[in-house]
Amino acid sequence: MADEQATVSLSRPWTVLTTHWLQVAALTVAFALAYAVVVWLSATYVARATLRTPDLTLA
């Protein structure tokens, strides 16, 4: 019964970051570029104009 159980030790995030920094950097650049494209494509501009209203008095 005890033989069937296996303890899996996961490497620490810092270790992963230091050992696979190139992969992390590449993914970061890829995600950042994708985000930049989305931001650029969905950019909207807001324009405001002020109109003088001579007779809109409040009751």
Partner 1 sequence: MAARDLSRDPFFSDHFIPVYTISRSDLRETSVAPPSVGQQIVAVQTRAESSDRTSAGRMAILLADAFADGALKSALVEYVTAQRGALATSRQRLEAQIAGDRASLLRVETKIEELQKVSAKYPQASRGDSRQVVSIVDGGERYLSPVTQLIGASSDAIGIRDSIRESENKIRQVTWMSSVFDEAGKLNVAALPGRSYMAQLESIVRSDSRRGAEDSEAIREARSTIEADLSVFRGRYAIGYTILRAPPERPPRAGPPLLAHAVGGILASFVLALLLTLALRWRAAPRERVNP
Q: Note the residues at the interface with partner 1 (CB under 8 A).
A: 6, 8-11, 13, 16-17, 20, 23-32, 35-36, 39, 42-59
Half-sphere exposure of 27 (CA within 13 A, CB side): 6
Please tell me the distance from the alpha carbon of residue 22 to that of residue 47, in angstroms, as a whole number: 43
Is residue 24 a contact partner of residue 17, using CB atoms and an 8 Å limit? yes
Name which of 2 and 52 has its Cβ closer to partner 1: 52
Name which of 1 and 6 has its Cβ closer to partner 1: 6
Q: How far is the CB of 1 from partner 1 (least distance, A)?
A: 19
